């Protein structure tokens, strides 16, 4: 696995360093970590891509690229509670698959808020935001998408009752203008979803996902001369899947839920989700965004990646590479929190960048996190802020600089779902302070180790290291000493989707429970 990781990193660096349109190795995923259900649009020479966000706030991260490979996070579409109510949301609920489209100077994002309102869309003239308040929609089913036809009409597709349904809507008000009509139920795979419409060479093409977002996930396609059908299925379906003899040994699995895009040079591509398996049949990083070339000649069915399975390294003719601005993930040194930071549900009070008391005669800035009475497991607007784990191997350090009266515990969490997380924290009770490592695995809480601290902590260092197989947890009671004490470790597989469930992936963050606030020093995240 170390050898494979080295090769992937090396090829990724080579790809991103190149600036010529030649045969290169495409490195998947293009956006690693918890970035499922990608949708993309091209405006001039710019690409914009959005992902699902489920129970996290702000929601629907939006990325910008010039070449479909190098991406910069430019914001989150849903950044206000009025746009994104997440009461009671878990990683089974919240924001499902969004679609982004552009028409006559306006960007549209349409999606589903499971448990808090259903289908809606928002609009803007600037993809970096701000976006409008929600425009609620009548036709339900998940994974809604938009199509703006040549006659100026706007159509919506989604999947109520496991059937892809079409209706015309008013894109300004969301009002449904025609009854919903059935288009296609797919090829027989379960959960026909993720519909997208395209028009090419006189045909309307309907791309969907089938099989569930697991091993049997796949893309299938049908077409018709008329937008309301009837649609005929591609005789060579599925269009894309790794659930086949040729793809069964690939690290990437669960390939599906995709969106076509045509580049300015006329080439066609598809973005889609997949997950990387580790230690056998486990994935803990979540479903990630991948890319593949599409051959789509006039009047014939599209072919993805020459009909071959998807791999982490694929040779293909790339667009001229244009690296994007590099942003240090988790940085708080610039006086504000970047768009990569997310909370669980709607935080009762947002985290703040604050100036910390000096412990080394230097100005220091950190995060003030206001505690919640809810634990991470209780999941009632818990106090948590973190970033997506995008790298297989990493080092993460922070320091607990202050605990106000009323805070029961505060620390670091490796978080998959409310019933699956590993927490390294400082506990405060009548007997004093202690450092604790605890796992929550389904309905079981396991305190791995607890050590009393000798004095009231002025600064307690907290560290988690990951090599792709295990998370290891350390603490340091004195900032000036380089003596880290290891409390324990946990296999990555135990925090995988296969073990603890959920639709997301690991996030790495800070949390505080009780009343008052906790202050953390800089959040230092590095590749190993």
Q: Is 257 left (phi over 0), alpha (psi -120 to 50) or beta?
A: left
- What is the chain's alpha carbon radius of gyration, rounded to the nearest angstrom? 23
Report how far residue 332's alpha carbon sits from residue 243's, in angstroms, rounded to the nearest whole number.
Answer: 42
Question: Catalytic annotation on 37?
Answer: yes
Supply the DSSP string of 406-447, one letter for each residue: TEEEEEEEEEEETTEEEEEEEEEETTEEEEEEEEEETTEEEE
Instruction: Report how far apart, in Å, the C-alpha atoms of 31 and of each of 12, 219, 420, 515 are.
Output: 12, 19, 24, 37
Q: Which of 202, 121, 108, 208 is nearest to 148 (CA)?
A: 108
Adjacency order of strands within the sheet including 164-169: 145-148, 154-158, 164-169, 181-184
Which long-range CB contacts under 8 A does 370-374 form with residues at least 24 apart? 370/512, 370/516, 370/517, 371/406, 371/407, 371/408, 371/410, 371/512, 371/513, 371/514, 371/515, 371/516, 371/517, 371/518, 372/347, 372/348, 372/512, 372/513, 373/513, 373/514, 373/515, 374/513
Q: Assess whether 423 carries a catalytic annotation.
A: no
- In the numeric block, the tokens 């339900």 are attached to 140
Choosing from 67, 143, 168, 193, which is the catalytic residue?
A: 193
Q: How far apart are CA 242 and CA 491, in angstroms?
A: 26
Distance between first and last Cα of the chain: 14
Give dist(CA 345, CA 56) in Å, integer: 6
Q: Are 349 and 369 spatial neighbours (Cβ–Cβ below 8 Å)?
A: no
State how far the Cα of 76 lies from the Cα of 145, in Å rounded to an integer: 19
Active site members: 37, 193
């Amino acid at each position: 696995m170390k050898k494979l990781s080295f090769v992937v990193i090396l090829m990724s660096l080579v790809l991103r360093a190149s600036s010529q349109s030649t045969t290169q190795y495409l490195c998947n995923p293009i956006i690693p970590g918890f970035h499922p259900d990608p949708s993309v649009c091209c405006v001039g020479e710019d690409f914009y891509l959005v992902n699902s966000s489920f129970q996290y706030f702000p929601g629907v991260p939006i990325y910008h690229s010039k070449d479909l490979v190098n991406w910069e996070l430019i914001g989150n579409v849903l950044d206000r509670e009025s746009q994104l109510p997440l009461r009671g949301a878990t990683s089974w609920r919240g924001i499902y698959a969004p679609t982004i489209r552009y028409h006559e100077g306006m960007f549209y994002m349409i999606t589903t808020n499971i448990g808090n309102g259903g289908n809606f869309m928002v609009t803007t003239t600037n993809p970096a935001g701000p976006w409008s308040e929600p425009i609620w929609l009548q036709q339900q089913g998940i994974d809604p998408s938009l199509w703006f036809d040549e006659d100026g009409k706007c159509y919506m597709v989604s999947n109520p009752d496991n059937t892809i349904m079409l209706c015309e809507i008013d894109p300004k008000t969301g009002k449904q203008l025609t009854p919903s009509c059935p288009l296609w139920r797919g090829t027989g795979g379960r959960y026909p979803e993720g519909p997208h419409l395209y028009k090419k060479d006189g045909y309307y093409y309907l791309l969907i996902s089938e099989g569930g977002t697991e091993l049997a996930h796949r893309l299938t396609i049908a077409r018709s001369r008329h937008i309301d059908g009837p649609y005929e299925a591609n005789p060579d379906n599925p269009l894309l899947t790794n659930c086949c003899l040729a793809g069964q040994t690939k690290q990437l699995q669960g390939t599906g839920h995709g969106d076509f895009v045509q580049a300015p040079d006329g080439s066609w591509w598809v973005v889609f989700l997949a997950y990387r398996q580790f230690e056998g049949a486990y994935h803990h990083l979540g479903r990630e965004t991948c890319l593949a070339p599409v051959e789509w000649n006039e009047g014939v069915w599209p072919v993805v990646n020459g009909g071959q399975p998807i791999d982490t390294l694929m040779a293909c003719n790339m667009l001229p590479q244009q690296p994007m601005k590099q942003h240090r993930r988790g940085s708080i040194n610039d006086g504000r929190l970047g768009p990569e930071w997310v909370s669980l549900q709607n935080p009762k009070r947002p985290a703040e960048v604050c100036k910390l008391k000096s412990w080394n005669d230097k100005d220091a800035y950190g995060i003030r996190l206001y505690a919640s009475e809810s634990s991470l497991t209780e999941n009632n607007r818990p106090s948590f802020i973190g970033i997506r784990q995008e790298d297989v191997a990493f080092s993460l350090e922070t320091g607990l600089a202050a605990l106000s009266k009323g805070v029961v515990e505060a620390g670091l969490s490796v978080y998959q779902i409310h019933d699956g997380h590993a927490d390294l924290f400082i506990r405060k009770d009548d007997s004093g302070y202690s450092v604790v490592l605890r796992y929550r695995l389904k309905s079981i809480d396991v305190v791995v180790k607890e050590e009393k601290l000798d004095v009231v902590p002025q600064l307690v260092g907290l560290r988690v290291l990951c090599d792709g197989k295990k998370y290891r947890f350390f603490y340091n009671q004195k900032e000036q000493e380089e003596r880290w004490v290891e409390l324990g470790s946990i296999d990555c597989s135990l925090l995988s989707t296969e073990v603890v469930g959920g639709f997301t992936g690991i996030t790495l963050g800070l949390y505080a429970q009780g009343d008052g606030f906790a202050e953390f020093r800089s959040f230092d995240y590095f590749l190993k």
